[in-house]
Structure 1
Amino acid sequence: MTDAALETFEIAFKDVFGRAPEGTWAAPGRVNLIGEHTDYNDGYVMPFALPHRTRAAVARRDDGLLRVHSAEMDGGVVELRVADLAPGTASGWATYPAAVLWTLREAGHDIGGADIHYDSTVPVGGGLSSSAALQVVTALALTELAGLDLPRQELALLCQRSENVYVGAPVGVMDQTASACCTEGHALHLDVRGLGQRQVPFDLAAEGLELLVVDTRVKHAHADGAYGELRAGCEAAAAALGLPALRDIPYAGLDDALRALPDDRLRRLTRHVVTENRRVEEVIALLDAGRTREIGPVLTAGHVSLRDDFRISCPELDLVVDTALASGALGARMTGGGFGGSAIVLTDTAAAPALTATLNAALPAARIFATTPSRGAHRLS
């Protein structure tokens, strides 16, 4: 961010709250390269941070009030009493910062009130973790202003709890971890069970490649029940097999596990999770070997699994994937929670302009942009 852009953002805070902020922070959205719906099954995921991010200018308050304002949201300043925060007491977008503050206090951290002004370039409802970016930037700002130096993974876990308990969405920890922990030029291999991390070099330009994000602008909501039903189904399948999680099924033992399950729905969910964990391992091996272009078919196989086994794609996402592949893309798949949102398309750089035009013609409402692995949450000033 340029000094001028940062100054303009901090002036906007002053215009809203009548004083200067104590600091400004940023946290990115994310794209999940591979490893979808595996996080709440104790499996493997591989996201990277987008250059699109949510910014927060923040100043502490000593009167027990949390006041939040967003440049993107209507309704002006939302004012909440910190002492009154509890699950179910806030509504709208302000639920997310309220949830973070409540969770930090529940965890024993002495966090008081604050004035916070936000803006964001992360597409809302695009499956690119706009809510996680909002949570993580809030948590990082509030803890640093309070003099706390929490490990990034702990920060991500607190943000996950805020969404699970306060917001009521049973999400896994991938989105918050990606926003908090990703590094520029890398995809993050996260083993959710042990929370082990490895930053895997992901250099598209070195091989003349580009990754397009296609936001279909079809909206979805994790808290609408569908996501929770999928998670409950996976947990039921693991319980039927006497396992802690579907992650515990080895790829070589998949057929035996499927035969032991009582119905087709549980078999489909299980097949996706086990094969998706395998696809994460395949992508890592290819990236480590410098064979980035060869991950394309693995990405496409992931989309087929999400479409046919998990059944969380939609006509717009399928149209993007089918059109991209028919136009010469190396691979494509939906990314994110499903039921709308975005797809990613791997293509040769030279072919990207024509492919973008073709996709725009097929889905005129879509927002399409090229992306590169970017920096996780950090302080700007």
Structure 2
Amino acid sequence: MTSTPDPHAAELAETAAAAFREAHGTEPEGLWAAPGRVNLIGEHTDYNDGFVMPFALPFYTVAAAAKADAWEFTSTFGGGETVRLDRLEGAEGWVAYPAAVARAMADAGYPVGPARVLVHSDVPTGASLSSSAALEGAVFLALAGLYGHDVPVEEAAAICQRAENDYVGMPCGILDQSASLMCEAGHAMFMDCRDLSREQVPFKLEDEGLVMLVVDTNAPHRLVDSEYAARRADCEKAAGLLGVSHLRDAPRHARLDDERLDRRMRHVLTEDERVLAAAALLKEGRVAEIGELLTASHTSLRYDYEVSSVELDSAVDAAIGAGALGARMTGGGFGGSAIALVEAASARKVEAAVIDAAAQAGLPVPRVFVARAAQGAHRVR
């Protein structure tokens, strides 16, 4: 976790500090930031012990914090609210996430005392861009900083994942927390989810005349928690039938009699291959060539894993039809965001096509923006 602040995170931190002063009449003891993420490729592979390749977005959640006699959580988003807790157990809504982090830290041998924590964020919520992981990461850094815990970053990611799994109840893999905590500016992070070994791969699209468009479809997630859990259960069942601990270890040409489980397995195995291929291309500077892999990933997620949506399919199809080199949904699916790799000169054309396609289909107006690979979680001051 680098100590050099991202300029945008520093701007958000000043707003958070001012809000903390207004709410509590004192200065925060520190300011910590954690970003949202885009997963370039490698979807639903993390909980299968597979490979992923995310990069951090230049959108951050900032935690302004100080030790206190009781727990007090304040947000500047959603109209703003302050929640005071006598106990961390039973926290609801957005407060469930920071409360879960504190509980998971104690479970891991890093006990923290009460604190006043104010969070300020511009990470889009409900867009599959890891707003929850950004919140968890920022709060983790804040509490660790306040109470003097020096936690290895890999362990920090695992603690934040356990917070979401055990206390929030979302059976996510470790991708989102790792991306928020570990990514580096100007790079995509190739990571093996089995041992959390990672390699920062150069990802400066502007050097190749390319841009990555992110399409927030503004579509609500549908049944995401239950369907996500169902996909994970399918994978565990398929692995059990094959006698392996995780689908990553399944033989490449294995087949299952259960047609649904066979398709789930096929997605995981082929997606791992696509991540490895994309990482190899990026290392060789052949950035444009990953486009076909992105599109193939979406096809697999759409038909084999069945986690896409009409809004995501519309965005991907329109982007490719308008000349994108490749496009796919990103994140857990059932709504959220898609990404499109495009030549810089074609970016406006692709954006217009995506928005027009949504309008023609009577879908919500999507928000489209250019993403750069930003800095991972860090202390601002």
User: TM (normalized to structure 1)?
Assistant: 0.94
1:106 paired residue number: 107
Shift of the alpha carbon at 1:358? 2.0
Preserved contact between residue 29 and residue 122 of structure 1 (Cα < 8 Å): yes
User: Are 1:40 and 2:47 matched, yes or no?
Assistant: yes
Query: Which residue of the partner structure matches residue 366 of structure 1?
Result: 366
- Of 34, 58, 63, the match for 1:56: 63
Query: How far apart are the structure 2 equivalents of 1:281 and 1:300?
Result: 15
Q: Measure, in 2, the Cα distance between the counterparts of 1:242 and 1:74.
A: 50
AA paired with 2:293?
A: V
Could you give the per-residue CA deviations for residues 1-43 of structure 1, whole angstroms, max 9, x where no partner exists?
3777643431111111221111111100000000000000000
Give per-residue Cα distances to partners, 1:84-120, cap 9 Å, x unaligned: 323xx11111000000011111222230011111111
Q: Secondary structure at the match of 1:363?
A: helix
* Contact 2:242-2:250 at 8 Å conserved across structures: no
- Which residue identity is paired with 1:373? A
1:91 aligns with 2:92: yes
Structure 2 residue aligned with 1:293, among 288, 311, 321? 288
What is the rounded CA distance, in whole Å, between the counterparts of 2:13 and 2:45 in structure 1? 37
1:161 maps to which residue? Answer: 162
**Alignment-derived partner of residue 31 in structure 1:** 38
Q: Deviations along 1:262-316, whole A, 9 cap, x unmatched?
A: 3101000000000000000110111111110000010000000000000110011
User: Retained in 1: the 8 A contact 2:35–2:60?
Assistant: yes
Match status 1:76 vs 2:81: yes
Report the AA paired with residue 357 of structure 2.
A
CA distance in 2, matches of 1:21, 1:107: 26
The DSSP-based 3-state class of the residue aligned with 1:79 is: strand
Residue 29 of structure 2 corresponds to 22
d(CA) in 2 for partners of 1:4, 1:174: 27
CA distance in 2, matches of 1:187, 1:224: 27
Does 1:319 find its partner at 2:314? yes
CA–CA distance in structure 1, aligned partners of residues 339 and 11 of structure 2: 33
SS at match of 2:375: coil
Checking the alignment, whether the CA contact within 8 Å between 1:168 and 1:223 is kept in structure 2 is: no
Matches within 5 A, 1:4-19: 6-19=13-26
Counterpart position of 2:362: none
Q: Is the 8 A contact 1:212 1:346 kept in 2?
A: yes
Distance 1:31 1:155, change over 3 A: same
- Whether the 8 Å contact between 1:170 and 1:223 is mirrored in structure 2 is no
Instruction: Report SS of the residue matched to 2:304.
Output: helix
Structure 1 Cα separation of the partners of residues 258 and 88 of structure 2? 43
Q: Which residue of 2 aligns with 1:143?
A: 144
Q: Distance in 2 between matches of 1:342 and 1:278?
A: 23
Is the contact made by 1:33 and 1:47 (CA closer than 8 Å) also made in structure 2? yes
**Partner deviation per Cα, 1:62-84 (whole Å, 9 max, x = no partner):** x2x21111111246201112xx3
- Structure 2 spans left out of the alignment, 5+ residues: 1-6, 360-364
* Residues 25/75 of structure 1: CA separation in 2 closer, same or farther (3 Å cut): closer
In the superposition, the TM-score normalised over structure 2's length comes to: 0.94
User: Identity of aligned pairs, percent?
Assistant: 51
The equivalent of 2:184 in structure 1 is 183
Residue 302 of structure 1 corresponds to 297
2:229 is aligned to 228
Counterparts of 1:157 and 1:120, CA distance in 2? 22
Matched to 1:172, the amino acid is: G
Counterpart check, 1:66 vs 2:71: yes
Alignment CA distance shift 1:141-1:360 (3 Å): same
Aligned length in residues: 369
Once the two structures are TM-superposed, the CA of residue 150 in structure 1 deviates from its matched residue by 0.7
Deviations 1:133-190 (A, max 9, x none): 0000000111011111111111110000000000011000010000000000111111
Aligned partners of 2:60, 2:154: CA distance in 1, in Å? 19
Structure 1 residues 13 and 222, CA gap change in structure 2 (3 angstroms):
farther
